[in-house]
Chains A and B, each alone.
Chain A
Amino acid sequence: MTYKLSVLLAVLVVVALSAIGCGLIGDSDDDEPYRIGVMESLTGPGETYGTVANQAKQLAVEEINAAGGVNGRMIELVVEDSKCSAQDAITAYNKLTDVDEVKIILGTSCSGAMLGAAPLAEEDGTILFSGLATNPDIATAGDYIFRTSMSDAQLGVDTGNLLWADGIRNLATITESTDYAEGVRRTSVAQFEKRGGTVVAEERYASDVTDFRTQLTKLTNANPDAIHLAAQSEFAGGTIVKQARELGYDGPIYSEVVPIGATALEIAGDAANGLIAVTADLDPANNKAQEVLANFREKYDYVTLAWYLGSAYDDVYITAECLKQTEDDQDADGFRDCLYGITWSGAIGNSYSFDSNGEVVGLSNVVVEVLPTGERNEDNQGYKVLGPAPLE
């Protein structure tokens, strides 16, 4: 037992010492890099987005540092996992602000985590700047809270208008019970009903479900003109499309960004042909966007959620620009004023800026259609852009 005990204690000692060793490195100095916090859902339900966002940020920082940094100083990212949960976001936030003493945090990728950390950031005067969180409530979360991701409210309005313009009058919805998917469904349905449409059936599913046949059968029995799918996980999104077609439903399916992700399309296969989605997407004519995608693919050997990847990437460059102006990574107020005043052209669009709520303006959603299996490749991401979402 003594031997086993010493092994056990040795393991714990190694963990503790390495932790302490790690903490001793990096006391700030003028030649030290600018330290920026990153909080993403690296594990848990939002892992896909969080990992892509983190990797895009690492890519951007590598580029900036390779080009000589900002004001002659490098940028260093301190990465923390907020796990898509409010409690973990709070501990991650406190670790970043208390231990690493950062005043600017890029993240998070999940709205729940964002809303958990936002009150603290607002109270401390710390910047929380997200490229992915889309919950409409974030608009009013505070003066230090910014995002380049568009609110679900906008996506819902665009989806509702598209459904109506395509001649859909009776709609069935299937929705993952998460804040994002619920938000999309609710705003889409509100706009659709405002235009005169009727929802004939609605189903919801929890995130860990893998069989949707019962719910899909109930939806198709209501004879809708179309099914609207809002998913949080690509696995569920792809599986639902696949099972709907397997059950013989051949009407149109409308969705959002998740069911057209690489994993979802792989799961759905042929069933996804013709799937329509309203989403923020990178403009094929935007050279910067194409360059970012090519560099990302070269470094990590895959590309998914291209727009969000670009959004996370742009956030780092916007941060670098504001650091160039404030010359201080501890000056959150200066950074905030810089964001309010900035107009940016990057991977996700040209000449976009932030309104008084810290919400991005000047970006818009597009309608895309998934290509037949044979035509899908890495360059087109498996779908083609039909055009901007119709207006009311």
Chain B
Amino acid sequence: MNSSSATTSPSVLERGLHTLREKGDLELYANVFIIGIAVIFTLWQGTGFAITLATVFCIWAILSVSLNLVVGYTGLLSVGHIGFFGIGAYGMAILTSDTSYELLRTEAIPQFGWPFFAALPACVLAAGVVALGVGAVFNRFRDDIYVLVSFGFAIIAFNVFLSWRALTRGAFGIHDVQRPSIGGWQLTGDIEFLILCVVFLLIAVGISWFLVSSSFGRVLKAIREDEQVAQVFGYQTTYYKLAIWVISAMMAGLAGGLFGSFTKFVDPNSFILLESMLLVSIVILGGLASIRGSLLGALAFVLLEEGMRFLPFLPDEFIGQARQVVLGVLLVLLMLFRPQGLAGRYKL
């Protein structure tokens, strides 16, 4: 026993190093580099801004991991994910907001006054229920048609947020959305909220990891490669697709609930189609069918986008536009050099 392990261990090490050199080095570099920037950023800026960015990262990471389950693992290119995110955010806003400011208005939305931790499961559930209904219809489609119908869903969701004024206050948005509290302990501080977001991110990543490494996950991958073959082997692929769609939407609802509480103000502008496209970009940027890739993609995206705020030598009069151009060029470059994403193995 001892002798065998003594003989195999060098070769394992060698093989590991070899693998790292062969194909893993880019991933390693990318990981080290992006996390390195994050650390430098935190040390240099002090913690305040970094906490905000970390919170934004956690929310986008939950979203991108959840979308990767559908897009990366199952091969269903959905651009409507932002709709579920919005359902979560509006759920949180409607259920917890103190609408006393509504006195200024002629129309008032209902006031529920739920605590954060009661509202959050409701947000997740609401996203899940809507996803179940939508998914039952979407299951009839695949490939490019799927992209189109999910596009349609994003548009419908946005317009519901905008037009259902009796519930969402339309374009005015809902403010005074609650921050969480446990007993008498208010988690109003940014650091406490960040910790909460990290906990939920870990839960979401844990669930996703469990799903994709189980036999369930293998069926999903089979569906992505060839749905008919999976069916021939006796799998009811419709149910698998519906299940992962609903799970993914529930995670997006969770992210939405956190987002609503984080910004304390929810309006339809946060759930436009462009945001959905950004989300798909993050998933592709990070790498399809890779949970680590999604985390990396979200981190890279938040750092790149917010890093633009520190670009020097731009004229003050056009600083916003100039930053967007630089960001766009960087994203194009990334895709040019790494079409499979930072940590991905598959192209779209």
* Cβ contact of A136, chosen from B104, B171, B312, cutoff 8 A: B104
> Do the beta carbons of A19 and B310 come within 8 Å of each other?
yes
Q: A86-B267, A86-B270, A179-B172 are in contact. Are A94 and B52 (CB under 8 A)?
A: yes
| Contact bitstring A16-59, B, C-beta under 8 A = 1, else 0 | 10111111000000000000000011110101001100110010
> Do the beta carbons of B316 and A7 come within 8 Å of each other?
no
Q: Tell me which residues across on chain A come within 8 A of B40, comparing CB atoms.
A: 16, 20
Q: Tell me which residues across on chain B come within 8 A of A77, comparing CB atoms.
A: 316
> Do the beta carbons of B56 and A91 come within 8 Å of each other?
yes
| Contact bitstring A183-206, B, C-beta under 8 A = 1, else 0 | 100100010000000000000101
| B contact residues, total (Cβ < 8 Å) | 58
> Do the beta carbons of A8 and B333 come within 8 Å of each other?
yes
* Cβ contact of A22, chosen from B26, B311, B324, cutoff 8 A: B311
Q: Tell me which residues across on chain A come within 8 A of B263, comparing CB atoms.
A: 86-87, 90, 116
Q: Tell me which residues across on chain B come within 8 A of A247, comparing CB atoms.
A: none
> Do the beta carbons of B334 and A8 come within 8 Å of each other?
yes
* Cβ contact of A18, chosen from B44, B171, B312, B334, cutoff 8 A: B312
> Do the beta carbons of A5 and B269 come within 8 Å of each other?
no
Look across to chain A and name the residue whose beta carbon is closest to the beta carbon of B322. A42
Judge if B202 is at the interface, Cβ distance under 8 Å. Answer: no
Q: Tell me which residues across on chain A come within 8 A of B45, comparing CB atoms.
A: 23, 98-99
* Cβ contact of B175, chosen from A137, A183, A190, cutoff 8 A: A137
Judge if B101 is at the interface, Cβ distance under 8 Å. Answer: yes
> Do the beta carbons of A91 and B52 come within 8 Å of each other?
yes
> Do the beta carbons of A23 and B175 come within 8 Å of each other?
no
> Do the beta carbons of B29 and A5 come within 8 Å of each other?
yes
> Do the beta carbons of A182 and B171 come within 8 Å of each other?
yes
Q: Tell me which residues across on chain B come within 8 A of A40, comparing CB atoms.
A: 320
Judge if A303 is at the interface, Cβ distance under 8 Å. Answer: no
Starting from the known contacts A80-B309, A115-B173, A116-B264, 12 additional A-B residue pairs (CB-CB under 8 Å) come to: A9-B33, A42-B319, A43-B324, A55-B317, A92-B309, A98-B45, A98-B48, A99-B45, A112-B173, A119-B175, A137-B101, A183-B172
Q: Would you mind naming 8 contact pairs between A and B with Cβ atoms under 8 Å apart?
A: A5-B29, A19-B310, A19-B311, A98-B48, A99-B49, A177-B170, A183-B172, A186-B106
Residues of A within 8 A of B (CB): 1, 4-5, 7-9, 11-12, 15-16, 18-23, 40-43, 45, 47, 50-51, 54-55, 58, 77, 79-81, 83-87, 90-92, 94-95, 97-99, 112, 115-116, 119, 135-137, 139-140, 177-179, 181-183, 186, 190, 204, 206, 300
